[in-house]
A and B are shown apart, each in its own frame.
Chain A
């Protein structure tokens, strides 16, 4: 098994862990954290492909990861702000309870 494959397996495992958290946990914060984990798994992939790709000299993967980190940070900030706002209005952080938006 080549190191690249190992890295990909690692990232996919991490991704599934994040997905599991996002699906199974009822606390909104944890759901957000799971999503963060998935993002990190994606970054892991990017770095792995950059490292083992044909030309590691071209820093595309690295740049991509940097941008992803920035976006992830923004996402975390806004998401948690939403959690706080929701909690202030209806004293609960359970995701399934925030469900007025339905047809």
Chain B
């Protein structure tokens, strides 16, 4: 495996870990954006150009904005309250569970015979082919996803919009 992959992995994991641990919401959001960018880089490395740019466009461009807006809309004062026992307990439980999952995953990955030979140098897939796939065998799925996105965005607007005085509890 190449150095590039190693670097990418380090960026992704580092950014993600820092994001999950940081006390400052904005920082963790921005760090997560970094992690997403790293994932896009990984896709590039793997030769999936289109997916990489899509990932960048969707996550770095759009989702990050939604997240940041949400953070700013739901901010309450300085986020430096002392951590009470309940959340310590939750953190420990979470660590235990996550560790368990990780152990199982590692075990299964290491235990399974995955030493496949490398296929010939990464033959990326051209946008042309992707488009043909999208419009050919996967056209129904594409349509459904389109409808899903529309419905989801409308729903999001309806949910987040300031509701009329009469139906506030």
How would you classify the secondary structure of chain A's contact residues: helix, strand, loop or mixed? Answer: helix
Contact B73 A12 (CB under 8 A): no
A51 CA / B69 CA spacing, docked (Å):
36
Which range holds the interface residue count of chain B?
35 or more
Contact A20 B98 (CB under 8 A): yes
Say yes or no for B164: interface residue by CB 8 A criterion: no
How would you classify the secondary structure of chain B's contact residues: helix, strand, loop or mixed? Answer: helix
| Number of A interface residues in the complex (CB < 8 A) | 71
Identity of the chain A residue whose Cβ is nearest the Cβ of B92 in the assembled complex? A24
10 contacts across the A-B interface (CB closer than 8 A): A3-B5, A40-B35, A59-B130, A59-B133, A66-B51, A69-B54, A73-B63, A73-B149, A74-B152, A91-B76
Q: Which residues of B contact A (CB under 8 A)?
A: 1, 5, 9, 12-13, 16-17, 19-20, 25, 28-29, 32, 35-36, 39, 42-43, 46-48, 50-51, 54-55, 58-59, 62-63, 66-67, 69-71, 73-74, 76, 86-87, 90-91, 93-95, 97-99, 101-102, 105-106, 109-110, 114-116, 118-119, 122-123, 125, 129-130, 133-134, 138, 141, 145, 148-149, 152-153, 155-157, 159-160, 162, 168-169
